[in-house]
Chain A
């Protein structure tokens, strides 16, 4: 019988292998699954041996990609089988099928614990392996003491102890509190004296995790690490079986060097000297050899040594040695070494001051852009992007442009973006910047996102000196036979605005400009036509008095599009046609576009919208961290003139940023005049909806913001990185990224505890609570609001036993808020909480939200989060009851737009009138029952406070349709047009998507609930069933 069971599996496997296609396979598998299912269900008395057979079959089926959830319980129950063969299968299958979040696993804790504390060594090994591989928090709390005991027990054999070390490592990662620091530092030191290299390797991994969390307690272990390294480097007392291709355990060497990188420095001169001797030996003694494995292993050690050298801030001489070595690597034949050479050079950029030495290898790095391996090309691009500064920007950007023509499609978008950023950031002069962007569009139009051409338009608009040049360039490109649609857009826009500046040049008369642009019209899509229509209107306006022929031509076009099906085109055509009949008055209406006020860059927005975390961090990350040392382009602002201009993107970095901003060079704006003098007046004028700041300087803070925006968001890079991978997935990308979020989070983020958006939404309604929390830090908020003032206190709490360092809080305020954050300390002591008051003044109505850019360093890692601050519009509302006598005269006096706006809102979340009323009340809009005779309507009133509006009464009326709850008509009235608009939009946002915190008891079923409950479908209470089985 025993044999026939295994034969069954063999037969099944060969059946599967003989299946001609997926369909046959599925049928065969379904049959088998049905069989297994009935066995599990019906035959109560399955022996452990029989169970083992089926569980094993299940794992095989699972590997083929089929769902075997129904059998999880059986696999788990097999763990408690008395005999080794069954138990072994139970353990292995459980740890393959389940992850730490499965409920079944929790129920097995006792059995696992019995195996761990029992005397059977083989059972101990199985249990430790399972817990080490899939143990979660529950395991950490209940098993850690037992595992620790095994690890330090003198009676346990190495095979158990090494497993215990790694098992403890996992438990520690799940809950750092399970390892008591005080008690452990001595034991850890003892463990590092271990002679058995298997145990030592595992212990070293454990040690890396412990020091990464808190190095302070483990100083005594540092000399032992150096000793271990010396022992390995000199190959003393290393058993033959622990050398790998002649190298004494390369893995242990790497681990030990990794551990040392968690200590900020090595103070003891003797230890330091010994370590540097070892490092020097590694750096100098590693050659490229023929055997691939030997090569890889020795270079693994070498690269780790490099990282350690960088970390320890060795003398410049040793650093240059490292760079020279890397320079050699990027030219070798072995692709892995080339790749790592480039990657480590990029790493080197941020750690030390060796840029100049790296620049010597620029030519070779540029050659790497043509490497046959795309991964290497990407590293080269990253490195070039990272090493670019004012001195080599021209060379690098031009190389990138050249490369663009031949680059892989997968890389073009990233390449264009990087080229655009570098051009903007390090342009020696603005005309060069314009050249670069136009070339980008010309060479890779499909890969140039709208943001990029919007930026060039902003630049040109805000810099008069640049306008004739840009117009001329645009005109030149139009002569090319086939140009990209983006080029049509940008040149039509530029020529519409500035072609009159070219009037005296040949080929630049209004008529000629018109006809060359109009030639392109048949080739463009509907989204471009409105831009062309505007251009025509502008041309007409600039040629006053108009040539009759040109005028007739343009009018003919307008009237042709008057009946266009596209609403935008139609509206423009109708309006321009009507306007252009007004003759000279056209001049006022269609005057040159005003300068752009600073406003949030669309790139920043994009980044905020992207929920994906970092994908490719390397160069982007380095850039972000590096930025203060770079020549960021901004006009020199003198803070002596009073408060710096409050703009959405002006920086309020505490504590050190302001001085850096001041010291930033004015390179890019060398051609702009009179900035320093015109600074004072800007403060209040910026950024209102209707008033446009006429001063040229307004561009500079915006620019700074945009540069930062381009720098900061890893989201952009995520996208492009992703494109490489999935090529044609297109629209499903975002969804994929979401679905995979846990992967990324596991990989390289500190996972926030709780949903950030949910916390924010909750704080929009109440005045105190937690804004953000992760395993290391908690940010709480307490707020008080009085008229247009607010005082928020940020409570920054360090949850750890180690200090949080490099703490930085940067407020990105929207234009309508004046925010002053008090000093944030650079370090938060262990288990301490610091309070940082933040003063808020509401200047004018706006729905924009302030963002707190918070970062800290923990170990060698930097955590950075961007958090919306709950200083939102409704905080400046004060509910006020209004009687019928007061309401109606007010309502009537505010007769129509722009003070009273009405809109039909569709897609409203279904809710009863009662729910809507309580929603309104929670946002401090007071619902006034009985005012409206129609019971389906709702009237509310409130007072809004801001510096510009003072106290302003706002009235809201909502008319609902009981037959269709998904739409309603809303009317909002106040004495200020901006307020009316903003309030209306604000309420709309609340109605269309209700913050989850507010959700009324589930009128909408949540479909997500289903998959998680599927195991429960097996029986009414899986817990009880499993308990029975165990």
Chain B
């Protein structure tokens, strides 16, 4: 009927972040634009189908439904970020890498950054990541992402700073846990 054309006014930079495994399993999603549940499911289904079908050695950008998807595969994990057509793709591609490096540092602290393209290392990274993202620690990936992006914009470009903040959060949780267990011990003692 009527066509309202274009424009980027006041829009988010990154609409969503999506991590999917090569088997098409969702490992992490984060939506900065208001997608309804139905739309989210649809986006995931379509996009994972599309990205998994792509061959290697292609460029890392896709035009898709009027937006641009920047994606990159790290071993068996695909990292995707959806941006506007006018946004700077390479910049976002390196946000992806920035995120990966921080995840890597967090989950597999043995990793040397400049070795990241070494096959074994990548394999290791992937193993750690996919294990981490499937496992009980996977929310950490969310916290890490929240320290890197807010409102779809880059918040912090220093890996050191992000690592420091995440460590601080972890210790807060630890402390609370200790307190709780000592408390429950006390209660247990008292009710014995």
CA–CA, A225 to B150, complex, Å?
22
Cβ A212 vs Cβ B9 within 8 A: yes
From A92, A742, A862, B139 is in contact (CB under 8 Å) with A92
- For residue A607, CB closer than 8 A to chain B, the reply is yes
Contact B59 A163 (CB under 8 A): no
Is A202 positioned at the interface, with any CB of B under 8 Å from its CB? yes
Within 8 A of B (CB), among A759-781: 774-776
Q: Which single residue of chain A is at the shortest CB-CB distance from B159?
A: A241
Pick from A373-381, A529-537, A589-597, A642-650 the stretch touching chain B. A373-381
Chain A residues whose CB sits within 8 angstroms of the CB of B172 once the complex forms: 84-85, 122
Q: Quick one: CB contact mask for A162-188 with B, threshold 8 Å, 1 for yes? A: 110011011011001000000000000
Which chain A residues (725-746) contact chain B, with CB distance < 8 Å? Answer: 725-726, 736-737, 739-740, 742-746
The answer to whether A201 touches B154 (Cβ under 8 A) is: yes
* Bound form: Cα–Cα A374–B62 in Å: 10
Stretch at the interface among A33-41, A244-252, A275-283, A441-449: A244-252
Please name all residues of chain A whose beta carbon is closer than 8 Å to the beta carbon of B39 when the two chains form the complex.
739-740, 742-743
CB pair B63 A863 closer than 8 Å:
no
A614 touches B6 (CB 8 A): yes
A725–B7 alpha-carbon span in the complex (Å): 22
Q: Report the separation of the CA atoms of residues A84 and B150 in the bound assembly, to the nearest whole angstrom.
A: 20
Tell whether A170 pairs with B151 under 8 Å between CB atoms, given A300-B88, A617-B6, A749-B5: yes
Contact flags A605-625 to B (C-beta < 8 A → 1, else 0) = 001111111111110010000
CB distance from A578 to the nearest CB of B (A): 43
CB-based contact A743/B43 at 8 Å: yes
Contact partners of A83 in chain B: CB under 8 A: 176
Interface locus among B91-99, B103-111, B119-127: B91-99
Does A254 lie within 8 Å of B180, measured CB to CB?
Answer: no
Contact B7–A863 (Cβ < 8 Å): yes
The binding surface of chain B is classed by DSSP as mixed
Taking a contact as CB atoms under 8 Å apart, the answer to whether A742 and B34 are in contact is: yes
- Do A63 and B177 contact each other (CB < 8 Å), given the known contacts A750-B4, A865-B3? no
Give the contacting residue for A739; candidates B42, B61, B64, B142; CB below 8 A. B42
A9 within 8 A of B: yes
* Docked-complex contact B157 and A198, CB < 8 angstroms: yes
Q: Is B38 an interface residue (CB 8 A)?
A: yes
Complex interface: stretch among A129-137, A950-958, A1021-1029: A129-137
B2, B58, B88, B142: which has the most chain A beta carbons within 10 Å?
A: B2
**Contacting residues, chain A, for B35 (C-beta < 8 A):** 99, 742-743
Q: Are B181 and A757 closer than 8 Å at their CB atoms?
A: no
Q: Find chain B residues with CB under 8 A from A561 CB.
A: none
CB–CB A746/B158 < 8 A: no
The residues in B between 53 and 80 inclusive whose CB is less than 8 angstroms from any CB of A are 57-67
B134 within 8 A of A: yes
With A96-B30, A293-B97, A736-B42 as contacts: A166 and B151 at CB distance below 8 Å: yes
Please judge, given known A-B contacts A84-B172, A613-B4, whether A748 and B67 are in contact too, CB under 8 Å: yes
A88 touches B36 (CB 8 A): no
Interchain CB contact (< 8 A) of A863 among B6, B97, B173: B6
Q: Which of A87-146 contact B (CB under 8 A)?
A: 88-89, 92, 96, 99-101, 122, 128-129, 132-134, 136
Tell whether, in the assembled complex, residue A615 and residue B91 are in contact, meaning their CB atoms are under 8 Å apart: no
A433, B162: Cα distance in complex, Å: 61
Count of chain A residues with a beta carbon within 8 Å of a chain B beta carbon: 134
- Residue of A85, A101, A166 near B153 (CB, 8 A) is A166
Q: Which residues of A contact B156 (CB under 8 A)?
A: 162, 198, 201
CA distance A255 to B180 in the complex (A): 45
CB of B150 within 8 A of CB of A133, answer yes
A340 at the interface (CB under 8 A from B): yes
- Are B3 and A613 neighbours in the complex by a CB distance under 8 Å? yes
| A863 & B43 in contact (Cβ 8 Å cutoff) | no
Say whether A244 contacts B94, CB under 8 Å. Answer: yes
Q: Is A892 in contact with chain B by the CB < 8 A criterion?
A: no
Question: Are the C-beta atoms of A613 and B29 separated by less than 8 Å?
Answer: no
In the complex the two chains form, what is the Cα distance from A339 to B143 in whole Å? 33
Interface of chain A residues 29 through 51 with chain B (CB within 8 A): 49
A to B contact number (C-beta, < 8 Å): 332
A230-267 toward B: CB 8 Å interface, digit per residue (1/0)? 00000000010110100001111011001000000000
Q: Does A509 contact B (CB under 8 A)?
A: no
Beta-carbon contacts under 8 Å, B1-24 to A: 1-13, 15
**A338 CB contact (under 8 Å) in B59, B136, B161:** B59
- State in angstroms the CA–CA spacing of A121 and B60 once bound together: 38
B184 located at the interface, meaning its Cβ lies under 8 Å from any Cβ of chain A in the complex: yes
Residue in B31, B90, B138, B143 whose CB lies within 8 Å of A299: B90
Alpha-carbon gap, A103 to B154, bound state (A): 28
* Shortest Cβ distance from A125 into B: residue: B165
Whose C-beta in chain B lies nearest to the C-beta of A64?
Answer: B26
- A99 contacts B6, CB within 8 Å? no
Most buried by B among A378, A736, A745, A749: A749
Neighbouring B residues of A861 by C-beta, 8 Å: 6-9
Chain A residues with Cβ below 8 Å from B112 are none
B9 touches A859 (CB 8 A): yes
- Of A713-721, A833-841, A937-945, which binds chain B? A713-721
Residues from chain B with a CB closer than 8 A to the CB of A99 are 31, 34-36
CA distance A864 to B39 in the complex (A): 26
Chain B residues in 8 Å Cβ range of A251: 91, 94-95, 154, 157
Note all chain B residues with C-beta closer than 8 A to A468.
Answer: none
Encoded as 1 (CB less than 8 Å from any B CB) or 0, chain A from 978 to 1014 comes to 0000000000000000000000000000000001000
Closest chain A CB from B39 CB (angstroms): 6
Across the interface, A617 reaches (CB within 8 A) one of B38, B85, B181, namely B85
Complexed CA–CA distance, A56 and B139 (Å): 9
CA distance A617 to B15 in the complex (A): 18
Q: A336-B89, A616-B66 are in contact. Are A713 and B180 (CB under 8 A)?
A: no
- A860 CB to closest chain B CB (Å) equals 8
A244:B98 contact, CB within 8 angstroms:
yes
Contact of A300 among B34, B46, B94 (CB under 8 A): B94
A787: B residues at CB distance < 8 A: none
Residue B169 CB within 8 A of the other chain: yes
Residues of A843-881 at the interface with B, using a CB-CB cut-off of 8 Å, are 855, 858-859, 861-868
Docked-complex contact A750 and B9, CB < 8 angstroms = yes
The one of B3, B11, B44 in contact with A748, judged by C-beta atoms closer than 8 angstroms, is B11
The chain A residue sitting closest to B89, CB to CB, is A340
Assess whether A722 is in contact with B36, with CB atoms less than 8 Å apart. no
* Inter-subunit contact B7/A375 (CB<8 Å): no
Residue pair A858, B157 in contact (C-beta under 8 Å): no
Question: What per-residue 1/0 map shows which CB atoms of B160-177 lie under 8 Å from chain A?
Answer: 110001001100110011
Contact present for A373 and B88 (CB under 8 Å): no
Further contacts, 20 of them, CB under 8 A, given A616-B66, A866-B2: A13-B135, A64-B26, A85-B172, A92-B139, A92-B146, A134-B31, A162-B156, A242-B157, A251-B94, A251-B154, A292-B117, A303-B88, A375-B62, A613-B66, A742-B35, A742-B36, A748-B66, A748-B67, A756-B4, A866-B3
Can you show 11 pairs from A to B with CB atoms below 8 A apart? A170-B12, A197-B157, A213-B10, A300-B94, A611-B1, A616-B63, A740-B43, A743-B66, A743-B67, A751-B4, A865-B2
